[in-house]
Amino acid sequence: MKFIKFKVVFIFIISIFSLNLNANVDGVRIQIIEAGLYGTVHIPLLDKRIKSKNDIFTIGQINASTSTKKLYKDDEFYILTIEDKYSKGKLNAIVKGSYLKKYPHYINTLTEITFLLSKDFIGKNYDKVALEKNLDKIAKKIIKEKGFVLDDIYEINYSDILLYENGSKVLYKPFIEYLKPLEQKIKSNTLKYDDAIKYVYERPIHKKVSNKSRVEKIQPLYRLVVFLHIPQNTKLGTEIVKLEKLREGSAKVDSFEILNNAVPFRMTKEGKLFLAKELDEESYSFEAVAHTKDGDSNKISFTIVIDNVEDTKFYNVK
Let me know if residue 78 belongs to a domain.
Answer: yes
Let me know if residue 212 belongs to a domain.
Answer: no
Structure confidence at residue 261 as a pLDDT band (50, 70, 90): confident
The reported pLDDT for the residue numbered 101 is 82
- Are 56 and 129 found together in one domain? yes
| Tens-digit pLDDT profile for residues 59-105 | 656 666 777 778 889 999 999 988 876 666 889 999 999 888 877 67
Look at residue 179 and tell me whether its pLDDT is greater than 80: yes
Structure confidence at residue 213 as a pLDDT band (50, 70, 90): very low
The reported pLDDT for the residue numbered 79 is 92
The mean-pLDDT minimum among 128-132, 196-200, 243-247, 288-292 falls in 243-247
Question: Whole-number mean pLDDT of the chain?
Answer: 76
Q: Which of 153, 178, 205 is the last residue of a domain?
A: 205
Structure confidence at residue 292 as a pLDDT band (50, 70, 90): confident
- Are 71 and 110 found together in one domain? yes
CATH of the domain at 230: 2.60.40.60
- 3-state SS string for the chain: CCCCCCCCCCEEEECCCCCCCCCCCCCEEEEEEEHHHCCCCCCCCEEEEECCCCCCCCCCEEEECHHHHCCCCCCCEEEEEEEECCCCCEEEEEEEHHHHHHCCECCCHHHHHHHHCCHHHCHHHCCHHHHHHHHHHHHHHHECCCCCCECCECCCCHHHHHCCCCCCCCECCCHHHHHHHHHHHHHCCCCCHHHHHHHHHCCEEEEEECCEEEECCCCCEECCEEEEEEECCCCCCCEEEECCEEECCCCCEEEEEECCCCCCEEECCCCEEEECCCCCCCEEEEEEEEEECCCCEEEEEEEEEEECHHHCHHHHCC
Q: What is the domain extent for residue 256?
A: 221-316
Q: Which of 205, 239, 270 is the last residue of a domain?
A: 205
- Are 143 and 247 found together in one domain? no
Structure confidence at residue 177 as a pLDDT band (50, 70, 90): confident
CB count in 10 Å sphere of residue 17: 7
Look at residue 52 and tell me whether its pLDDT is greater than 90: no
The reported pLDDT for the residue numbered 153 is 57
Q: In total, how many domains does the chain have?
A: 2
- Are 98 and 189 found together in one domain? yes
Look at residue 5 and tell me whether its pLDDT is greater than 70: no
The reported pLDDT for the residue numbered 51 is 67
Let me know if residue 213 belongs to a domain.
Answer: no
More confident residue, 64 or 13: 64
The reported pLDDT for the residue numbered 151 is 54
Look at residue 15 and tell me whether its pLDDT is greater than 60: no
| Tens-digit pLDDT profile for residues 104-158 | 677 889 999 999 999 999 999 999 999 999 999 999 999 887 766 665 556 888 9
- Are 156 and 296 found together in one domain? no
- Are 189 and 270 found together in one domain? no
- Are 198 and 283 found together in one domain? no
Look at residue 215 and tell me whether its pLDDT is greater than 90: no
Let me know if residue 210 belongs to a domain.
Answer: no
